[in-house]
Amino acid sequence: MDPILIILIGIAVVLFCIIVLRLHAVISLLFAALVTGFLTSPDLIYNFGIHQGMSDQQALSLSQQGIGTRLTQAFGNTSGRIGILIALASVIGTCLMRSGAAERIIRGLLKLFGTKNSSFAFLTGSFTLAIPVFFDTVFYLMIPLVKSISIRNTKKFSLYLMTIIAGGVMAHSLIPPTPGPLFVAKEMGIDLGAMILGGLVIGSITALSGYFYALWANKKWDLPMRETPDISLDELKTYSEKDSKELPGLFISFLPILLPVLLITGNTILNMIVGGKETEITSYEEVWLKTFSVIGDSNIALAISSIIALSLLWSRIKDIDKFKKYIYEAIVSAGIIVLITSAGGAFGKMLQQTGIGIRIEELSSNYHMAILPLAFIITAVVRTAQGSATVAMVTAIGVMSGVSGADGGYPFHPVYLAMVIGCGSKIFPWMNDSAFWIITKMSGMEEKETIRFFSFLLTVMGISGLIAIMILSSLFPFV
């Protein structure tokens, strides 16, 4: 069966289960993954394995695995990647809100930037944080602040939510040293400095377009601020009305957010500067590298932060029953999110194993289009079809590696092509994307609302990036 037909069936199944049958997202996604996996022939799986760089034996072994084995492996891989992070982030978020630390941070931000500029402060803050840190980590750390500030004016909840998404998601996709842009730069032979500069320029343009979309969407659609298992709206309201003397200090409030960012950033920068040296690494540098490779790991960094957050919460309430209750609620909330995102990751992996990336490559070879729009469309189609931005970028690079001008090169600096691939990888994330479910459940949205305030937002940003890149590549080709 053609991979495109399998993809369409998989999409139809998950939409039917969630929208019509109103089944829980975990059941719907796992059922759709099973149907997709059942329809995918061993030949398609084998070709997928070879295309992924597996040896002949590894690809054959994968194609001979039962659907149950492939599904559980995909589920487990997603859970292993995000499970601990979500659990720790849930604990940190609960501690920040219930200790009053999130409220204290919000009062500090409002004092510094003013109420009118708070949404722009969220945008620039998440954009800056997401350059060295994964977007999901940035989102975990900032969602408690969004809830705390939104309780003052619930009509701006969607605006604040979209600004942290708009700022973080494009910086993560365009600006090294995050892994995606680093991989693209390496594969295309682009100087790291040029990649950073291009990412900053295009990332700023797309983030601003996302900000304007957020302003428009906030006025067009109402997004009610719903209660989530970690804290009720009444409790948030109570914290917002407390006297400042009843809240913890600003430094200790910020520490659980700031510390993991510093540790992860330190690890990233050390690996980029020291680890990339051509000369021999000194014993002193090696010690720092080893130290930050441990404490700068995202799981360890958040674990350290959670210990601080737990200590902060205990210092404020000093009630063992309440303390245990709050942490229990945080873990239960995290467990549901882990299940849903892992099911979404499994569904996405089953879609990948159909070989949709290979099929898109075959189709694109039959069309002669301008280089930049072609790269954008290929990346966007693959991303939407199977849910992984990384797979979409790798596929697009593979296709475009054989495309060049008559003189043996591109008519513009290759950094423009790298940027357009990054923008294309953001187009319309939906239910096969684990980030879709993380944002849905941690913000208390319904699926149709996430499409409005997340999927459409990223699509607008991706398209604005394409337009900006095409204009800039014409005016400043740099070749």
Q: Give the model confidence (pLDDT) of 291-340 as tens digits.
A: 999 999 989 999 999 999 999 999 999 999 999 999 998 999 889 889 99
pLDDT band at 407 (very low <50, low <70, confident <90, very high): very low
Given a cut of 90, is residue 253 above it in pLDDT? yes
Q: Is the peptide bond before 411 cis (omega within 30 degrees of 0)?
A: no
pLDDT band at 366 (very low <50, low <70, confident <90, very high): low
**Cβ–Cβ contacts within 10 Å for residue 51, how many?**
16
Query: What is the reported pLDDT for 405?
Result: 43
Query: What is the reported pLDDT for 245?
Result: 86
* Residues in Cβ contact with 111 at an 8 Å cutoff, skipping those fewer than 6 apart: none
Query: What is the reported pLDDT for 171?
Result: 84
Kindly provide the b/e burial profile for residues 108-141, where b requires at least 16 CB atoms within 10 angstroms of the residue's own CB.
ebbeebeeeebbebbbbbbbebbbbbbbbbbbbb
Q: How far apart are CA 24 and CA 340, in angstroms?
A: 9
Given a cut of 90, is residue 81 above it in pLDDT? no
pLDDT band at 408 (very low <50, low <70, confident <90, very high): very low
Biggest CA–CA distance in the chain, Å, is 73
Query: What is the reported pLDDT for 406?
Result: 39
Q: How far apart are the first and last CA of the chain?
A: 45
Q: How far apart are CA 222 and CA 209, in angstroms?
A: 20
Residue found under tokens 């084998």 = 46
Q: How far apart are CA 138 and CA 260, in angstroms?
A: 10
> Does residue 28 contact residue 18 with C-beta atoms inside 8 Å?
yes
pLDDT band at 367 (very low <50, low <70, confident <90, very high): low
| Residue 359 burial class via C-beta count within 10 angstroms: exposed 0-12, middle 13-18, buried 19 and up | buried
pLDDT band at 386 (very low <50, low <70, confident <90, very high): confident
Residue 362 structure tokens: 């075959």
Given a cut of 50, is residue 12 above it in pLDDT? yes
Tell me the average pLDDT across 159-173: 91
Query: What is the reported pLDDT for 276?
Result: 65
pLDDT band at 410 (very low <50, low <70, confident <90, very high): confident
Q: How far apart are CA 391 and CA 369, in angstroms?
A: 22
What rounded mean pLDDT belongs to the chain?
Answer: 89
pLDDT tens digits along 230-240: 788 888 898 88
Q: How far apart are CA 29 and CA 23, in angstroms?
A: 10
Query: What is the reported pLDDT for 400?
Result: 77
* Whole-angstrom Cα Rg for the chain: 23
pLDDT band at 92 (very low <50, low <70, confident <90, very high): very high
Tell me the average pLDDT across 381-399: 82
* Residues in Cβ contact with 196 at an 8 Å cutoff, skipping those fewer than 6 apart: 175, 176
Given a cut of 80, is residue 251 above it in pLDDT? yes
Minimal CA–CA distance to 453: which of 157, 96, 48, 133?
A: 157
pTM: 0.84
Angle between the 371-386 and 414-424 helix axes, to the nearest 10 degrees?
30
Q: Of the ranges 164-173, 233-242, 390-399, which one carries the lowest mean pLDDT score?
A: 390-399
pLDDT band at 399 (very low <50, low <70, confident <90, very high): confident
Minimal CA–CA distance to 429: which of 210, 200, 169, 225?
A: 169
Given a cut of 60, is residue 184 above it in pLDDT? yes
| Residue 266 burial class via C-beta count within 10 angstroms: exposed 0-12, middle 13-18, buried 19 and up | middle
Given a cut of 90, is residue 42 above it in pLDDT? yes
Q: How far apart are CA 106 and CA 112, in angstroms?
A: 10
Q: How far apart are CA 199 and CA 472, in angstroms?
A: 13
Residue 456 structure tokens: 């459409």
Query: What is the reported pLDDT for 53?
Result: 87
Query: What is the reported pLDDT for 402?
Result: 58
Q: Of the ranges 61-65, 217-221, 385-389, which one carries the lowest mean pLDDT score?
A: 385-389
